[in-house]
Chains A and B, each alone.
Chain A
Amino acid sequence: MILSTQDAANNKNYSPEFAINAKNLCRNFGQLAAISNLDLTVEKQTIYGFLGPNGSGKTTAIRLLTGLLKPTSGQVNVLGCHLPQEANKLRLKIGYMTQKFSLYDDLTVKENLQFISKIYGLTAIEQKSRLSELLSTHQLTQQSQQLAGSMSGGQKQRLALAAAVIHKPKLLFLDEPTSAVDPQNRREFWEQLFDLCDQGTTILVSTHYMDEAERCHKLAILENGIKRADDSPQVLMNNMAAQVVEIAANDLRYIKDKLIALPQVISAAQLGTHLRVLVKKSEANPVALLQRQSCIKATDKLAIVRPSLEDVFVSCTGQGVAR
């Protein structure tokens, strides 16, 4: 089901212009280079993902692209506005949903939305129709009189999204939007994002969930402020510089320790009853290589499987090298 939605979106005709265009973007915090030489182009009306572990520079990248942080060097153009000079002009065109819930806990859902709509200069009439529209699309009509602080994680997140799109922004930034919600809510949330995208919004989302990254049209894998790879999830998986071998055996912990010492093996991770081993692409026959090892018994089952996004992530970043 996820794939079908994604395919439909992939087939769409993209407008030739880019919503975000960044070149050689750098940002240092003292000695630390939070973002180094980031080149980024985001096509309009797509969902673009930043995938990376904590501290990889996802939030910093988003803050640079929204004009909240000034770049140390490099050029950024977002929706035709040059940053940081035209940051104020940009604010009316973008929506930003922060990592932490940043609306007022001591205001009700409706009061929060009224506040934001006034800040964005909606007239009283516009406000009324927009509010009821938002409340129903984001399933908040019943909670409209409830204090935001007393709501569940999923409800808070829907409210935050509603507030971020109240002024119908052309470009929406979402910083780890689903870190506090359950899978069911996450699924519904993504349905909302695809709806918004269909209506013409460009969305940039940061995440550290693989399943979430897989739904993006395009994906950048970030590590220590450096972009390691950048393409659609499908292409990333196809072009992966490693092959995946799955081993079904008994003493998986022991096998893992032995295999990971091999120079051809990038990483090995246990997944339930299986061991997932990433072998370098230069190795012509990875199954034969592994079977030659003394720790593998003849009865153990080995098979080459389709790579997942997690494998791509591991092979791209330094994660696999760490032994």
Chain B
Amino acid sequence: MKTSLLRIQAIVTKELLQLRRDRMTFAMVIMIPLVQLLLFAFAINTNVRNIPVGVVDHSQTSLSRVLQQTVAATGIITFTHSYHSVKSAQKAIDSNEVRAVLIIPKDVSQRLVRHPSVGFGLPPSSKQETSRPIAQWLVDGSDTVIASSIKSLRNMPLVELLDKPANRNTPTFEVTLLYNPEQRSVVNIVPGLVAVILTMTMIMFTSAAIVREQERGNMEMLITTPLAPIELMIGKIFPYIFIGAIQVTIILGLGYWLFNVPFNGGLAQLAIATLLFICASLVLGLVISTIAKNQLQSMQMTIFILLPSILLSGFMFPYEGMPLPAQYIAEALPATHFIRLIRGVVLRDVDVIEMNFDMLWLIAFTCFGLLVAALRFKKTLD
């Protein structure tokens, strides 16, 4: 037991020394979370603003110009081009010059007068033949986010148009937004980014770990020594736990100071959840390392895990919206469980004990992975 600890310590010391000499890797440990946080937190925004759109104004009246200004005032779109015909407008959408076009018909004023929101409609405006939409949007529907943003304009109020108070309806539901009332995407993204960056760096570090020793010929020496596979595995993942902790601190610290992401939960809770996830990711890397034959292969397998961890884990799209098979895959990824945990702790101040399913899942994953890695790593050359 004592010699076993000594051997683990020997591996840990060796890994740290090697890491210290490898300046580039050391720099990436800091730079990856730093740069990625700044990039993603500024860039990812699900509230789309200022979509470039064009207009085809068949009416050419002051009303049509006021209509354009009213729509532009929502901030969702910006009129960048004007076209003479629907045909040329459609070409502009094809060439991606604009993402949508507003077509204002000749009879826009008649349509407006009969519009129910204005309430001038006589005879009763609910009849199809008398009440029609006042204008039409042609939208590039391939991007669902853009499309739904423009779709949200469908029922926009037209108060300013006629300088008359609208018939404001009582909403069917009252909605209270907890935890992120201002609806800032960054609040959701920063904790999720912890999971994505840790998945990337932790799996990458350890997936190369065993393979590298094999490529450099060190393994031939190691297997002739009394070093046991499990000792090698533990010694290999131990130093990276600290590196993971540094990265989490950078991301959440910057998130708090720069982007005002609230930090509601306890530090100990966060530490427990993070530690579990780091261990699970490191062990996953080790398993890859025992499968891959060279560093390129281990890199490819890392990406193979990383992409679903970004797309399916709930970081980009809500887990609940995914089809059932995708949910099963997501459930198998450590990142999915960690994103639930960290969003729970950081944003909602949940006690990790209450989320024990995700906790237990990560613990089980770590133990199982460590076992698989140790079994797969043979001490013979057969």
Contact = CB atoms under 8 A, between A and B. Distances in A.
Interface stretch (A88-96, A138-146, A274-282): A88-96
B381 A69 contact: yes
B318 interface: no
Interface in B363-382: 379-382
A17 interface: no
A88 B218 contact: no
A318 interface: no
B225 interface: yes
Contacts of A209: none
Contacts of A120: 225-226
A279 to B, nearest CB: 43
A66 B18 CA distance: 29
A118 B7 contact: yes
Interface residues of A, number: 32
Interface stretch (A35-43, A101-109, A263-271, A297-305): A101-109
Contacts of A92: 226
Interface in A27-45: none
B10 A115 contact: yes
A63 interface: yes
Nearest to A117: B10
A70 B380 contact: yes
A104 B14 contact: yes
A106 B216 CA distance: 11
- Of B7, B13, B17, most A-chain CB atoms within 10 Å: B17
Interface in B52-104: none
B21 A70 contact: no
Nearest to B7: A119
A67 interface: yes
A104 B218 contact: yes
A111 B223 CA distance: 19
B9 A118 contact: yes
Interface in A93-139: 94, 96, 98, 100-107, 111, 114-116, 118-121
Interface in A53-90: 63, 66-70, 84, 87-88
Interface size class of B (residues with CB under 8 A): 20 to 34
B218 A68 contact: no
B6 A91 contact: no
B217, B219, B224, most chain A CB atoms within 10 A: B224
Contact of A115 (B14, B216, B223, B224): B14
B160 interface: no
A119 B220 contact: no
Given A104-B218, A111-B17, A88 B380 contact: no
Interface in B201-250: 216-227
B143 interface: no
Interface in B287-341: none
A46 B382 CA distance: 29
Contact of A98 (B9, B13, B14, B220): B220
B22 interface: yes
A322 B331 CA distance: 65
A100 B14 contact: no
B217 A96 contact: no
B226 A100 contact: no
Contact of A107 (B3, B6, B18): B18
A115 B13 contact: yes
A106 B18 contact: yes
A121 B380 contact: no
A107 to B, nearest CB: 6
Interface in B1-54: 3, 6-7, 9-10, 13-14, 17-18, 21-22
Contacts of A88: 226, 379
Contact of B6 (A87, A105, A111, A121): A121
Contacts of A102: 217-221
A84 B378 CA distance: 13
A96 B217 CA distance: 14
B220 A118 contact: no
A96 B224 contact: yes
**Residue among A67, A68, A69, A70 with the highest chain B CB neighbour number at 10 A:** A68
A117 to B, nearest CB: 8
Contacts of B225: 91, 116, 119-120
Given A69-B381, A102-B218, A104-B218, A119 B224 contact: no
Contacts of A63: 381
B232 to A, nearest CB: 10
Given A91-B224, A92-B226, A96-B224, 14 more contacts: A69-B380, A69-B381, A69-B382, A70-B382, A98-B220, A100-B220, A106-B18, A107-B17, A115-B10, A115-B13, A116-B225, A120-B225, A121-B3, A147-B21
Interface of B: 3, 6-7, 9-10, 13-14, 17-18, 21-22, 216-227, 379-382
Question: What are the 5 closest A-B residue pairs judged by CB atoms, nearest first?
Answer: A118-B10, A102-B221, A121-B3, A96-B224, A102-B217
19 contacts: A67-B380, A68-B224, A69-B381, A88-B226, A91-B226, A92-B226, A98-B220, A101-B217, A102-B219, A102-B220, A104-B216, A105-B216, A106-B18, A114-B13, A115-B13, A118-B9, A121-B3, A121-B7, A121-B226
